[in-house]
Structure 1
Amino acid sequence: MVHKRAVRHAAFPRVTYGPMLQRDHERIANLNNIYNCNNVEAIQMLRMRRAPFYALVKTFRERGLLTDSIHTSIEEQVAMFLHVVGHNQRFRVIHNTFRRSTEIISRYFQQELYAIWELRGEMIKPASMNTPTKIKNSYRWFPYFKDCIGAIDGTHVTAKVPRSMYVAFRGRKHYTSQNVLAAVDFDMRFTYVLSRWEGSTHDASILDDSLLRPDGLQIPDGKFYLRDVGYACQPGILPPFRKTRYHLNEFFYAKHRPLNARELFNLRHLSLRVTIERAFAALKNRFKALDQKPFHTFDTQVKLVLACCIVHNWILGWGEDELFEEVVSFDEVETGHGVEAGDNDA
């Protein structure tokens, strides 16, 4: 009696695989194109210039966070990771680009994610206690905000969760999301990040939880963060005046000057607090994995939020690039409309 497996195998012709030289040549040519491109092309592919990319690779190699294998260098491992988070590409798409199996890509992706997390202690640091240069050099903010060390806000990051968690993660955005709390300084660097919260959770509840955590947001005595009107005034948190014009369109698009001291305070409060909105916009503009439907497990999605903030801070350490210039500067808009021209009369 012929075994069923033998019959099934006999029904299909045997495939003879040839040498993989052509595939290897294509991969090497593609990698050389990435490594030897100019900065404009590097930003398009790797989401950063060549200098911070090679510095990141050097850091991983010197600290032993990543190692070269027989067939895959650290440069290729980092490039694959940046392609995934920068363009939100699935592993099977990266497979066609880098000519690696999806298993290898997945393995190196997790290793790269771990390596980036190891940098969180030095890249996500509390804000400086000194008066920020942006405030010190501006008559609009100094000395009124001289003790301000940054801004706090929440943002929604698209999430894919099991059906049993769907209701909790679907909030006012009408899609499942994480509600991420973050703090930034006025150089647009992230100084604190808290992810994993459900999209339906109110921002104030997340902030209260963060302040109670042993490793949560620390606000030194005498210093404060700026926050929008959705939060109550409390020690270390300064929101704008309620029931007073605050939003951008209420001043600029309506072409109304501040009419009293409260409106003037709200306008200057907004012109500083908008820094965190610009930081979120720059982060999601650079890393599409945070702005589009993800395909990773939820635990990986949570880790990716902090990992992208770490890489964001790393890139800022090497100066801004074209992706940051795409984010509209509030200061330029404000100056262009001339709202504060002569606003000291208010």
Structure 2
Amino acid sequence: MDDNGKTRDMLIVQAAGLVAVLCAYMATITTRARIRNYRAPIRYVMLERDVARLSNLRFIYETNDINCHDLLRMNRAPFYNLCNLFHDRKLLEDSIHTCIEEQVAMFLLVVGHNHRFREMKPIFRRSIEVISRYFKAVLYAIGELRDEMIQPPSNEVHPKILHSRRFYPYFKDCVGAIDGTHVAAKVPAPIASAFRGRKGGTTQNVMAAVDFDLKFTYVLAGWEGSAHDALILADALERNDGFVVPAGKFYLVDAGYAVRPGFLPPYRATRYHLTEFGERVPQNEKELFNLRHSSLRITVERAFAAFKNRWRIVDNKPHHPYPSQVKIVLACCILHNWILQWGEDEFVPPEHTWTGNSASDGVIDIEHDNRTWSQIRDGWAGHMFADRGNSCV
């Protein structure tokens, strides 16, 4: 190659290098202009919002059990274990801006205090749409734990019965108690009359079975507030995946249910609740049977009390569509059982302070009492009264 060719190639290389330098310089100038004019203000606003949000979250569930329990209605151990469970099973996922702990905290604040989504905005610095989206995601995730957390009772004799002369051997085959409770509901005006309960206001009637550890073993939500407890129980028994009484076992029920295999109510027209006895001792076998029946059946009343004390959304006017209200009741029952794995807390009323004072709901199904089970109950009552000197009342 001659000298002219070499010179031309060198000029081309130098020109290309100059163009590259100029492009890099212009890119640097443009980038600095964007950072100076736009990115810095946006970064400042985002940082201020995130700092406030993270500070709130640390106060809620990172500082101590007291704050976590007051705000999320559970201590940090069950809270973090619940979040880890959702993560491990891929029921929830961390997003770029919102971790699983924050998503669950949003849900628990809503159901624990009956907050509206707009009331959550100052805490989480999120839009109503974002809070609503995560609320639905957590509600679905909790619902997926139903079969695991709400299980049939054990067939073993519970220690509460086994170690008490008041209850053993008469109630040795008892696996829990059944009752219905009314939960505040919001429904369209055309169907509101069907949901109006005996105490006024629209409610849904929730049937639940509870074992002697205060855990729910069956829950059926969604029935109208005007529905009778016995009707709801009949529906639960007829469902393909419905309520099943273990063979040879029975549940305690109130006087609103009939006497029949698997279900044992107290004697009607006889003193029953502990408050009705006061300092008086039972005068006959029926009163003694009712007293011990009541002393054992308060388990379900204590469970409902803890359930409503902890989750204020079920005892106040809700702000969600009715299908969501039914799912929320079930989710709160699942969370109730989850929390009890870590022991009882202040939301569970102590047994020695609980007297029970619920009444049967509506019509009493006297005509359908089972004769055999009535005779069995009479036999137990007679033996109790004869052996009352061997145990406390």
For the pair 1:98 / 2:124, whether they are aligned, the reply is yes
For the pair 1:300 / 2:344, whether they are aligned, the reply is no
| Equivalent in the alignment of 1:49 | 75
1:176 deviation in Å? 0.1
Q: TM-score, normalised by structure 2?
A: 0.79
| Equivalent in the alignment of 1:310 | 334
Equivalent runs, 1:66-215 vs 2, <5 Å: 66-215=92-241
Q: How many residues align?
A: 320
1:308 deviation in Å? 0.2
1:266 to 290, 298, 312: 290
2:325 counterpart letter in structure 1: Q
SS of structure 1 residue aligned to 2:79:
helix
For the pair 1:283 / 2:307, whether they are aligned, the reply is yes
- For residues 290-312 of structure 1, what are the alpha-carbon distances to aligned partners after superposition, in whole Å with 9 as ceiling and x for unaligned? 01100000000000111000000
CA RMSD of aligned residues (A): 1.8
Task: State the distance in 2 between where 1:287 and 1:276 align.
Answer: 16
Identity, in percent, stands at 61
Task: State the distance in 1 between where 2:75 and 2:223 align.
Answer: 32
1:166 deviation in Å? 0.5
1:237 deviation in Å? 0.3
- For residues 236-278 of structure 1, what are the alpha-carbon distances to aligned partners after superposition, in whole Å with 9 as ceiling and x for unaligned? 00000112111222102xx211001111110000001010000
SS of structure 2 residue aligned to 1:279:
helix
SS of structure 2 residue aligned to 1:256:
coil
For the pair 1:251 / 2:283, whether they are aligned, the reply is no
2:192 counterpart letter in structure 1: Y
| Equivalent in the alignment of 1:339 | none
1:34 deviation in Å? 1.8
**Structure number, greater radius of gyration:** 2
Task: State the distance in 1 between where 2:69 and 2:347 align.
Answer: 8
Task: State the distance in 1 between where 2:291 and 2:284 align.
Answer: 11
2:88 counterpart letter in structure 1: E
SS of structure 1 residue aligned to 2:347:
helix
Contact 2:272 2:290 (8 Å CA) reproduced: yes
1:344 counterpart letter in structure 2: R
1:202 deviation in Å? 0.6
Q: TM-score, normalised by structure 1?
A: 0.89
SS of structure 1 residue aligned to 2:45:
coil
Structure 1 regions of 5+ residues with no counterpart?
1-15, 335-342
1:205 deviation in Å? 0.5
SS of structure 2 residue aligned to 1:323:
coil
For the pair 1:322 / 2:322, whether they are aligned, the reply is no
- For residues 304-323 of structure 1, what are the alpha-carbon distances to aligned partners after superposition, in whole Å with 9 as ceiling and x for unaligned? 11100000000001111222
SS of structure 1 residue aligned to 2:248:
coil
- For residues 77-97 of structure 1, what are the alpha-carbon distances to aligned partners after superposition, in whole Å with 9 as ceiling and x for unaligned? 000000000000000001111
1:328 deviation in Å? 4.4
SS of structure 1 residue aligned to 2:222:
strand
1:21 deviation in Å? 2.3
| Equivalent in the alignment of 1:217 | 243
